[in-house]
Amino acid sequence: MSTTQKFTEKEINPLGSLDEWEDAVLERYPDPEAIATSKSTEAYRNYEAPERDTVREFYRLNHTYQTYDFVQEKRADYLRFNKKEMPIWEAFDFLNQLVDDSDPDTDLDQFQHLLQTAEAIRRDGHPDWMVLVGLMHDMGKTLCLFGEPQWAVVGDTFPVGCAYSDKIVYPEFFKNNPDFNNPEYQTPTGIYKKGCGLRNVHMSWGHDEYVYQMMKDSLPESGLYMLRYHSFYSWHREGDYEQLLDDHDREMLKWVKLFNPYDLYSKNPVPPDWKELRPYYEDLVAKYLPKTLKF
């Protein structure tokens, strides 16, 4: 039985849009002005009520149903990559079915947001593989187009199979999670060994892990960390889960922290000139990616 058959429509789509999660992220983690070129960071996600009931409901569902077993189920299903196969530019058209009319910061489609992120990275002179990370980082949101509920696609990610950090947003909702009552999962390291490294830790399911798995043979390690952990805020913003880290994670942390502001603050109401940019991005994609992507 698919996940979507188990929940009501309100439980599948508690947010008005996927971007409401990003709204909440920006409210929690304001960042310097350097990347937000069109307006101040304080002007982004300008809502009168920062603690919106829809976001709380989203995290109630996320924290209730993102169990260790749920993660294993989704990995077994989606990491076969047998749902769809498309050329990269067709994949962007597929992603654009998630156009969000309610986003207060842009009325551009998903591809334009990715292109703006990539261009902000390129403008600052970072390596071309990091530009590609900017272009691809939200491709995993196509999970929604395969019927996955929002709380299994976006949201702050966290390890499953060990105790929950109190630095995770709305940690009080974890008491509803079946894993909360499993003593094996409720020690600081849980089923893992101290210092095992994040690569040996199962994270809550969502677009980060999905796009990492999709791209893991195409990018350098620093870029893969950006993809895989950009929503793991309790680690890269709050400094928690030290007991699970190894030296490689600590070295890679700087890359994750470098990437995130470009994702959060690069939106601009003026669309990039795709006609002008297209030759560069066609060459970039051809350099790193196969002709088709498997979903």
* pLDDT tens by residue, 117-175: 999 999 999 999 999 999 999 999 999 999 999 999 999 999 999 999 999 999 999 99
Q: What is the pLDDT of residue 15?
A: 79
Q: Which residues of the chain have pLDDT under 50?
A: 1-2, 4, 34-36, 38-50, 100-106
Q: What is the pLDDT of residue 6?
A: 79
Host H or E run for residue 89: helix 88-95
Residues with Cβ within 8 Å of 146's Cβ and at least 6 positions away in sequence, in order, are: 78, 83, 295
CA dist., res. 107 & res. 189, Å (int): 43
> Which tokens sit at 234?
């309790």
Q: What is the pLDDT of residue 112?
A: 87
Q: What is the pLDDT of residue 270?
A: 76
Quick check: helix, strand or coil at residue 24? helix
DSSP 282: H
Q: What is the pLDDT of residue 17?
A: 74
Quick check: helix, strand or coil at residue 159? strand
Q: What is the pLDDT of residue 21?
A: 67
Domain ranges of the chain: 3-294
First to last CA, the chain: 20
Q: What is the pLDDT of residue 41?
A: 47
Phi, psi (degrees; rounded to nearest 5) at 165: -75, 145
CA dist., res. 167 & res. 128, Å (int): 33
CA dist., res. 274 & res. 196, Å (int): 44
Q: What is the pLDDT of residue 265?
A: 75
Q: What is the pLDDT of residue 33?
A: 52
Q: What is the pTM of this model?
A: 0.86
DSSP 204: P
Q: What is the pLDDT of residue 1?
A: 37
